[in-house]
Amino acid sequence: MRIRAGILVVGLILWPCVGEAQLRVRDLVVTGGVAAEGYSGNLAAVTIAVVDSTDSAAAAVGEFSSRLDLEHISADARSRLRMAFDLGLRQFAATGFKVRDYAPREWVGSGEAVFSRAMSSWGSITGVVSFKGRWVEDRPPMPLFLQPGYSQIRAGAQVNLVRSAQFDLDFGFHGRREDYRATDPVKQLDLLGRNALSLEGGVSWRGGARGELRFFTTFERSEYPQQGSFEPDDPLRLDHTFRTGLTWTRFADEIDVILGLEGTLNRSNSRRPEYDAVALRGEVSIPLWWDLGMDVYTVITGKSYLFETDFARLVPGEEADNASVAYVTFTRPLAPNLDAALRVGWTRAETDIGDQYYERYGLTLLFNYRPTIR
Amino acid sequence: MTPRPSGPQLSGPASHRRLGTFRGLRCAVLGILPLLGILTSRVHAQDLNQLRREIEVARSGLELAISELNVYEGRWEEAYDSIQSAKRRGDDAALERAYATAHALSDDRSLAQQSEDSAGTALTEAKRRLEGGLNREIRRLELAMDTASVERQEELDLLIEGLERELTDLQRGDQFQVQTAAIALITIDPIDLPEDIIAKAELLERRAQQAQETIDDLDGRLEELNDRLRRERRRRDSRRSIERFDDVRIPVGNPAQSASENSGDPGVVAGDSTAIQRPMSLEEEIRTLEELRRQFVQDRDEFLGRARSFRARAREIR
């Protein structure tokens, strides 16, 4: 029902543009690829029905996906509507488990519409609406962790105020609703559903060739309507999260860099999920020789809980932003509309039992085909 | 043998009555015809006046469109000079601003050119309709001459003569031509010697050379932007392939941190916001520069074409 409502909202936004036939395809990419992955960590997970005592597992993976980006610019060039649609299928053939081999399959789909309008003197306004859905079949036990299925609807608005040629201020709010599908016997997944509202303010400084620096602060209020707080006076869990950080973005001289440092304080009416965390994020694109390009994507996090407990922390809860990931992708064009990408990936993430970690390694070969480029 | 009557016998009271009716009808018709002639000639005159008004409106529209286009052509020339001047000084910031101004003008100039084209087409159509109307009226008056009295024939002669003069004037026509301001200033005067004409041709060729330099510069910028677009696409592909299946939301991280599909667009080019108060994406920037390039190519070709015709004219005079 919510997905249909999301599609309806996007359809209503699209309708006038389709009527005027001014939609432009910004990008269309069809991706196919294969991967080999290894997982380690003899761990338990509360959200997974099956349990296996293996220390490590491996999987051969095939994936297929497509992405479509559309753009509409108004006649006065002040308004822009961008839409992005993404569909993907990933099939695993996993082995190394003691109970049986698994063949999990993931389906994902998402859509987003972002409308922005430049106001004559003082800045711009932006509105966003998006939906995302995910389905997983034959979800395996740890250490091969796959995100459970869920649906998400998100909407928000932002105002950008141009203070000078170098400084911008921005204020925004977002709301989202997430619904995790509980499938018997993992009823705990239902507990992950939440409604959240967030307010964000930021100040940006544009330094020309030195890039752009943005400081931001976010306050988020998250309700978990299915989840108890274990506090008789305040029975439903309610979290307040405060984030602050900065992002440096520089696109110049053939090297693109996005670096971010972010601190998080999560406080709740339930003591169990309260924590402090810090994350360093980085994206770097560098051209190499023979038309080869390298893209690095990393997130390194550290986290400390305020209270020690033997109970599962992450289920119910969503405070696992302490995963560290590193991906290095080498891309080479094979034709004007076909790229080949070889990706090496590593992940270290906490299971839903706090302070326990599993690792994942992967080698992926992907082909990106753009049919609209000749 | 009495011959058998072969036709109607117009004798006797009944025949007289029928004859009287026929004569009355003929008189009525003969009486109405001049009235009809007056009425139709008035109708034709009204039609012609309507067509004349249409042509005046179309001509005013074209004059207005031309003057508007001339304003943009003047500004285009200023922007063009600013680009050349910034390039000579090696002032990148000024060059960026000059390109931004040219971008902003580019659309208005194209629209003004389209308006001028439409107004020109409207005037041609109006002329064609008036030509048709005048020809029809001349034919009608010539037919009327056959049955007209001598006095009336003289009147008709004068009318036809006037209409034919109007038709000739119309066919000779006013030659509305719009050229870029620079080209419009460089024309051949009747007193020009072949050397003067060749000097003007050389001036046009220098302008063509400057246009070519700008085209080369735009080609360089387009190549750079296309490289950036390829890099951005590569980065977007890489990011999406990691985020698509939630591999970076492990186990169930904060989805608000996952980037928007459309956020982090690096396609912002400095100075673009001066034109539309909104940062341009790389794709928009490329489209705009391609349009700008097309206009410079058109200018270059016009300069060269004009220079060739000047040189040919100089050879003829010699």
Q: Tell me: cis bond preceding B34? Omega within 30 of 0 counts.
A: no
pTM (predicted TM-score):
0.65
Q: With an 8 Å Cβ cutoff, are B253 and A318 in contact?
A: yes
B12: left (phi over 0), alpha (psi -120 to 50) or beta: left
The SS3 assignment for B306 reads helix
Count, residues in chain B: 318
Q: With an 8 Å Cβ cutoff, are A331 and B234 in contact?
A: yes
AA letter at B27: C
By the CB < 8 Å criterion, does A134 face chain B? yes
Q: With an 8 Å Cβ cutoff, are B240 and A86 in contact?
A: yes
By the CB < 8 Å criterion, does B278 face chain A? yes
Q: Closest partner residue to B250 among A27, A323, A370, by Cβ?
A: A323
Q: With an 8 Å Cβ cutoff, are A287 and B249 in contact?
A: no
- Other CB atoms within 10 Å distance of the CB of residue B6: 5
Angle in degrees, 0-180, between the axes of helices B194-243 and B282-317, rounded to the nearest 10: 160
Please choose, from the candidates A14, A287, A132, the residue with its C-alpha nearest in 3D space to the C-alpha of residue B256.
A132
AA letter at A244: T
Q: Which helix (H) or strand (E) holds B261?
A: none
Distances (CA, A) of A347 to A317, A356, B15: 20, 13, 121
Q: Closest partner residue to B266 among A27, A251, A321, by Cβ?
A: A251
Please choose, from the candidates B70, B77, B105, the residue with its C-alpha nearest in 3D space to the C-alpha of residue B211.
B77
What's the CA gap between A158 and A178, in Å, rounded?
A: 21
Interface confidence, given as ipTM, is: 0.82
Q: With an 8 Å Cβ cutoff, are B241 and A349 in contact?
A: no
Spell out the per-residue pLDDT of chain B, length 318, in tens: 444 443 333 334 444 444 445 555 555 554 554 555 555 555 566 678 888 888 888 888 888 888 888 788 788 778 878 887 887 788 877 887 787 787 777 777 778 878 888 888 888 888 888 888 888 888 888 888 888 888 888 888 888 888 888 887 777 655 444 445 455 557 777 777 888 888 888 888 888 888 888 888 889 888 888 888 888 888 888 888 888 888 776 444 444 444 444 444 433 333 333 334 456 678 878 888 888 888 889 888 988 998 998 889 888 887
By the CB < 8 Å criterion, does A268 face chain B? no
Q: With an 8 Å Cβ cutoff, are B238 and A78 in contact?
A: no
By the CB < 8 Å criterion, does B281 face chain A? yes
Torsion angle defined by CA atoms of residues B308, B309, B314 and B316, in that order, rounded to the nearest 10 degrees: 120
Q: List pLDDT tens digits, range A295-354.
A: 999 988 888 888 776 665 554 444 455 678 899 999 999 988 899 999 999 988 876 666
AA letter at A209: A
Q: Closest partner residue to B233 among A27, A90, A258, by Cβ?
A: A27
**Widest pairwise Cα distance in chain A:** 66
Write out chain B residues lying below 8 Å of A329, CB-based: 238, 241
What's the CA gap between A191 and A168, in Å, rounded?
A: 40
Structure token pair of residue A140: 């395996």
- C-alpha dihedral sign at B149, B152, B154, B159: negative
What's the CA gap between A335 and A337, in Å, rounded?
A: 5
